[in-house]
Structures are given as C-alpha cells and as structure tokens.
C-alpha cells in the first residue's frame, strides 16, 4: 500500500507537468503543522502514568487537483505523519514510508447534477453523525435554493474474509439523503436521513455483536444568522432500527441526540456557547438507548475531554469525539487583541446522561486557554493550556490528580 501511494503521487506529478497547459489546469494546495505538547494525569491519578505523553509530532498534507474543464476535476490529497524520534519517519535520517492517500476522486457535472466518485470526505450533522473520509459516491442535485445530495458509503467489504459466495452478506453499507434548503440569506435547513444495512454485520469490528442490522438516523440541522452579530445553530438526531444479535437475540435501537449553539461576534470580542445531550441506556431491556454510530462519527469539543487541538488522548472514561451517553455545555470568550493576536478562554462541564456501573455520572469541569499569534503571513502559532477538575466518573480512588495539558502548534496552509 505504501509503495502504491508513492507511485500514485509520482504518476500524478509527472502527468501534471507533461499534459499540455491548454488541456489541463493544475491546482496545488496543502497543510502542515508541528505540535509540541505534554499531557499529564489523563487517567485521573498520578502514579501509573498510563496515559501520560510528552513529545513532538508533524503532519503534512499535499493537495493536487487536475482541472480538465469546468465540468471535470480529478482531486487527490496525500498525507504524511511523523512523531519526532519514531523509527517510521521521525528519526535520524528521516526517510519515511508513511505516505497515505487521504482522498482520490473524480468530481464532475452532468447538467445540474454533481458527482463525486472515489475516496472522499463528508461531514453530516456537524460531525455528531459523521465526519470522516470514505470510499463511495456523493451525487448532488443543485437547484436555485436547494441542494439534494445522495450518499453511498462502503463501510465494510466482505472480500476481506476471502473468496466465497456468501461474502456479500457481511458487507456493511451506509445510504443517505442530505438536502440543504436556503431560506433567504439568513436561514438554512438541512434535514437528513442515513441508513446503515448489513445481512450479517458481525464480521465488521464496529458491529461485531450484530448479525442482520437495519439502523437508521433521521434529523435536522438549522442555521440562523439573526444579524451581522448573532448566529444560532441546532442539530437534532433520532436513531432507530433493529438488529439480530449473536446468539439468537434481537435489539431495538431507540436513541437521540440534541445540540445547540450561539455565537455573538462584536468585532474584537466573540462570545460563544453550546450544549449537547446524547442519550444513554438506563436498563437491561432489549432496547439499545445509547446514541452511537458504528463508525465515522467525530465531534471535537473540549481540549482534554473532547480531543481539541492535541487529539492524541482524552481523559479517562470520556467518550471523546464519539458523542453518546453524555451531556456537556460550554461558554467561551475570544478577544482579538490585534490583527495578529487573539486570546480565548472556554469553560466546559460534562457528565454522563446515565450513571456508569459505579453509580457515578460527573466527568468534571474543564478550563481551556488558547493564544493564537500570526508570526508571518500564512504561518500561525497556537499556545494552549487546559486543566480538568475531575469528577468521580473520571476517576475515584487513591492518588487522585487532575489532568492537564500544555502545548504549542505551528501551522500553515496554502
């Protein structure tokens, strides 16, 4: 796979420089960041050091798009990751083999319909439902005030088990419709429906407990710009369906997620707040009431409990970016001191929607501070400090210690 990635990149670059200029426009872009940070006491205690980390890592992304004409593009994104001192790429010599093909897809129009076919990315419901790369297709009808995307995600392919006539039975597919309706210039509605199906989902690690699975999500995103200053957003999702379980049982899915936020921007001062609630399971009946997505969900929130900028670990027992059985709220302030410097402070509180096995629910209260400074045009430095006042659901026992992290990130994009 690594050799294929290198050959693919080389072939694309050769093609970019050999095809006649009149026939092809080449667009390049990219992103680079290096982070140095320390994460301490993420287990909730200071003796085992089981989740402690101090180090430096780098990520680089290179984007290449071949534009044949206004109705056809070939989009590619490549990625390298390195931990400094790691033998894969970051050690002395630094000859790495960790090239990844992040995206590679054809983007073309047939009349009012746009097609994206291949390895691509999509975000659904702000990441509360899906925010990841995938192999599949996105077909979007574009009208005057409406777009209607149809989505197919190949989540799991049965041939991974070898050849055989029943391998298609263990395929897992997502199907979705995600219309976006613009109401004037101040409101956007995005109702959506996503269906996950498999005749036998037990071979996929994300659904190993289920055989036949019929899982759906129905919801709505609402975005309102109340004025030049205020913006409000809302997301609601209902999860339903059923599945046969290993051993002959069955389970019904009945869960939901609610989230909302407010943003007030007064030029140099920005005030923001948000809250979300995702159900948990409070009994042992056959209903599965914990909101979950088999794979693809990713919503970053607090620095320590919700990944944030340094997304290596989250504090013990937090669901991280997999939002389920949790309620959390945030209030924050960002001050733009100058054109180059901004300072932000965010306060977070989080708890389980339903108690854990020990009868505890409070994860803690977190304080996040961030300073952002533009060193030169295009190059940005972030300095972050975060501290979590732990609750009993994070850790309860001897040697209790609050988690904290401190770090910097240097980044650029083009």
Evaluate if residue 17 carries a pLDDT over 80: no
| Token pair in block for residue 206 | 């994300």
- Confidence bin at 166 (pLDDT 50/70/90): low
Evaluate if residue 96 carries a pLDDT over 70: no
- Confidence bin at 135 (pLDDT 50/70/90): very high
Return phi, psi of residue 60, to 5°: -130, 135
| Token pair in block for residue 207 | 């659904």
Quickly name the fold that domain 33-70+109-413 has.
Porin (2.40.160)
- Confidence bin at 13 (pLDDT 50/70/90): low
Evaluate if residue 367 carries a pLDDT over 80: yes
Per the CB < 8 A criterion, the answer to whether 411 and 33 are in contact is yes
- How close are the terminal C-alpha atoms of the chain, in Å? 27
pLDDT of residue 54: 97
User: What mean pLDDT is predicted for residues 142-151?
Assistant: 96
The pLDDT > 70 percentage for the chain reads 92
Evaluate if residue 1 carries a pLDDT over 50: no
* Mean pLDDT taken over the chain: 93
Instruction: Flag the least confident range among 105-109, 174-178, 244-248, 346-350.
Output: 244-248
Evaluate if residue 293 carries a pLDDT over 50: yes
pLDDT of residue 176: 99
Distances (CA, A) of 47 to 50, 88, 164, 313, 375: 8, 30, 51, 18, 39
The pLDDT > 90 percentage for the chain reads 83
User: What mean pLDDT is predicted for residues 251-265?
Assistant: 98
Q: Is 161 helix (H, G, I), strand (E, B) or coil?
A: helix
pLDDT of residue 211: 96
- Confidence bin at 104 (pLDDT 50/70/90): very high
- Confidence bin at 92 (pLDDT 50/70/90): confident
User: What mean pLDDT is predicted for residues 262-273?
Assistant: 96
* Cα separation, 262 vs 239, whole angstroms: 25
| Nearest alpha carbon to residue 404 among 391, 388, 390 | 388
| Token pair in block for residue 42 | 């993420």
Q: For residue range 196-230, what is the model confidence (pLDDT) as tens digits?
A: 999 999 999 999 999 999 999 999 999 999 888 99
Please list, in sequence order, all residues whose beta carbon lies within 8 angstroms of the beta carbon of residue 132, skipping any fewer than 6 positions away.
121, 122, 295, 296, 298
Q: For residue range 309-364, what is the model confidence (pLDDT) as tens digits?
A: 999 999 999 999 999 999 999 999 999 999 999 999 999 999 999 999 999 999 99
């Amino acid at each position: 796979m690594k050799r294929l990635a290198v050959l693919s990149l080389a072939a694309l670059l050769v093609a970019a420089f050999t095809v006649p200029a009149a026939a092809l426009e080449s667009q390049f872009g990219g992103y680079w960041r290096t982070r140095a940070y320390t994460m301490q006491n993420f287990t909730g205690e200071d003796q085992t050091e089981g989740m402690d980390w101090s180090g430096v890592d780098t990520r680089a992304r290179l984007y290449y798009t071949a534009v044949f004409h206004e109705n056809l593009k070939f989009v590619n994104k490549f990625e390298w990751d390195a931990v400094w001192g790691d033998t894969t790429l970051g050690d002395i010599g630094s000859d790495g083999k960790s090239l990844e093909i992040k995206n590679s897809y054809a983007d073309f129009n047939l009349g009012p319909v746009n097609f994206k076919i291949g390895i691509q990315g999509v975000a659904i419901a702000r990441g509360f439902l899906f925010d990841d790369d995938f192999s599949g297709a996105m077909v979007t009808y574009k009208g005057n005030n409406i777009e209607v995307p149809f989505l197919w995600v190949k989540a799991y392919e049965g041939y991974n088990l070898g050849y055989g006539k029943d391998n298609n039975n263990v395929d897992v597919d997502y199907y979705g419709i995600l219309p976006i309706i613009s109401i004037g210039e101040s409101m956007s509605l995005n109702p959506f429906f996503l269906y996950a199906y498999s005749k036998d989902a037990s071979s996929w690690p994300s659904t190993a407990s289920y055989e036949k699975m019929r899982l759906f999500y129905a919801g709505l995103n609402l975005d309102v710009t109340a004025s030049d200053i205020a913006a409000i957003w809302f997301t609601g999702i209902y999860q339903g369906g059923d599945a046969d379980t290993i051993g002959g049982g069955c389970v019904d899915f009945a869960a939901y997620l609610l989230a909302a936020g407010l943003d007030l921007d007064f030029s140099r001062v920005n005030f923001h707040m948000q809250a979300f609630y995702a159900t948990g399971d409070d009994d042992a009946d056959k209903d599965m009431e914990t909101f979950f997505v088999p794979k693809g969900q990713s919503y970053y929130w607090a620095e320590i409990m919700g990944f944030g900028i340094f997304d290596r670990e989250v504090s013990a027992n937090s669901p991280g970016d997999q939002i389920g059985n949790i309620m959390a709220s945030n209030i924050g302030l960002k001050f733009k001191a100058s054109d180059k410097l901004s300072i932000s402070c965010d306060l977070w509180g989080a708890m389980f929607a339903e108690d854990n096995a020990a009868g505890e629910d409070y994860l803690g209260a977190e304080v996040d501070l961030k300073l952002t400074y533009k060193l030169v045009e295009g190059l940005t430095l972030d300095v972050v400090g975060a501290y979590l006042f732990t609750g009993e659901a994070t850790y309860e026992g001897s040697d209790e210690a609050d988690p904290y992290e401190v770090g910097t990130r240097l980044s650029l994009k083009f």
